[in-house]
Amino acid sequence: MIPSVAAAVSLLEGMMEVLSSAVKLETSSPQLAELYQYLCLAAPFGTPNETNPSNLKFQIQFRKGLAMPKEKIPSWRPAVYKGSSKLNVRIKEEVRAVQYDKEDIEDICQLYGSVLCKAELEGHPDIVLNLTTPPDSSHLDHLTVHSCVQSSDAEPVLADTTNRHTDTPHYSRSVRFSAPLETFTLCHYQQSPALIPIRGFYQMKGDRTIELLVQLKLHETIRNNFEYCEVVIPFFNRGTIEKIDNISPTSVSLCIGPDNKSLVWNIGQKFPVKSLEVSLSVTVTFTEFPSEEEEERDKTVDAKFCVEQNSYCELNFKISDFTLSGCQIDPRSITLFPSIKYKLTLGRELVSSGYRIWNSHGDALGIPFIRNEPVEEIIN
């Protein structure tokens, strides 16, 4: 809603993109030099101007001594598109969750959505499209739009479906923009709390030999068709796995992770259609407790915290052609000015990111990551 906020977010994203190739930042690293060059171009007088690194890229390369393109073209549109016109709009949602199985602590579930767009359109028309959400889902919060957006509805509008019998009611938010040539994020949104798509329980007890039980239930509104769905159960401060037995049910696909310190349970493409429930119980025996040297080496927050009964399992899954928020791009709403012929591709996906279930018998950590930074908030 506030253009300066969108511009600031775009600048931060640009900085992240420039730095993303950095493996390890040192004060003398080439990435920092590149970041400096980027900031000189993107915010020349301390005010964000053109912030898309790809649009600025040739200038950065030019400064490094690479050849400048022959044609003089504006920096905000590095090339003119020629060829058959295509428009690709994809909604990607990431769901994070922390489940505790504790009476006095509420589980956490947060959704981060982004709309990615690639527009290869001859004549560079303006694009208008509607982002729709069902009325029963909670609103999309913190909607931020890319700086190329010219206008967008501040509040979603309830669609009038009285004379369209096939339509279910939904909220619609119209966005008008002039797209750069490369893939960019048209907007971001959040939903918190979001619906917990897979509810889980994890129970684990023991020392050198442990017994564990994991139970999962898929919510009935979630598309039961996964690209992948697996549970990783890491063991910290316990040495390596010697053997696993008493696997139940015997049909589960369970293996020991490549580090010999975790279990990987592959659930596959579907939960059982009737019950939508799966479970796993297994006995794990460890060779020995880790040497002090080994403990010394692993200093991650998880490794420090996960002693004795403190432990978690993590779900990794992806569902295509689905969003948890119900967010969609309405294909009928897409309009180009001036109008041209083009091929439209729409996509949706939901992926998990830091989706954890803590052992009912131990202590737990709060939100595991904020943009991959561990946060040390301990909950008993």
Ligand X SMILES: *[C@@H]1O[C@H](CO)[C@@H](O)[C@H](O)[C@H]1NC(C)=O
Provide the binding-site residues for ligand X, judged by CB under 6 A: 44, 49-50, 74-76, 130, 153, 157, 159, 172, 174, 259-260, 330, 332-333
Report in angstroms how near the CB of residue 153 gets to ligand X at its nearest. Answer: 5
Rounded CA gap, 6 and 4, in Å? 5
Q: Directed axis angle between helix 53-63 and helix 30-42, to 10°?
A: 120
Given the complex with ligand X, which of 130 and 311 has the nearer CB atom? 130
Query: Which has the closest alpha carbon to 296: 364, 344, 378, 237?
Result: 237
How many angstroms separate the CA atoms of 45 and 303, rounded? 45
DSSP 3-state assignment of 24? Answer: coil
76 vs 337 by CB, closer to ligand X: 76
Beta carbon of residue 361, minimum distance to ligand X (angstroms, whole number) = 28
Measured from the CB atom, the residue of 104 and 155 that comes closer to ligand X is 155
Select from 87, 176, 121 the least CA-distant residue to 340. Answer: 121
Q: How far is the CB of 332 from ligand X (least distance, A)?
A: 5
Closer Cβ to ligand X, 40 or 370, answer by number: 40
Q: How many CA atoms does the CB half-sphere of 285 hold within 13 Å?
A: 6
Nearer to ligand X, 36 or 76 (CB): 76
Taking each helix axis as running N to C, give the angle between helix 3-19 and helix 30-42, from 0 to 180 degrees, rounded to the nearest 10.
160
The token duo for 143 is 């909607």
Q: Which is nearer to ligand X, 55 or 191 (CB)?
A: 55
- Residue 143 C-beta: closest distance to ligand X, Å: 13
Residue nearest to ligand X (CB): 174
Q: Which two tokens stand for residue 170?
A: 């939904």
Distance of closest approach, residue 350 Cβ to ligand X, in angstroms = 24
Neighbouring residues of 320: CB distance < 8 A, sequence distance ≥ 6? 225, 227, 347, 348, 349
Residue 74 CB, nearest approach to ligand X (Å): 6
Determine the Cα–Cα distance for residues 319 and 59; give it in Å rounded to an integer: 39
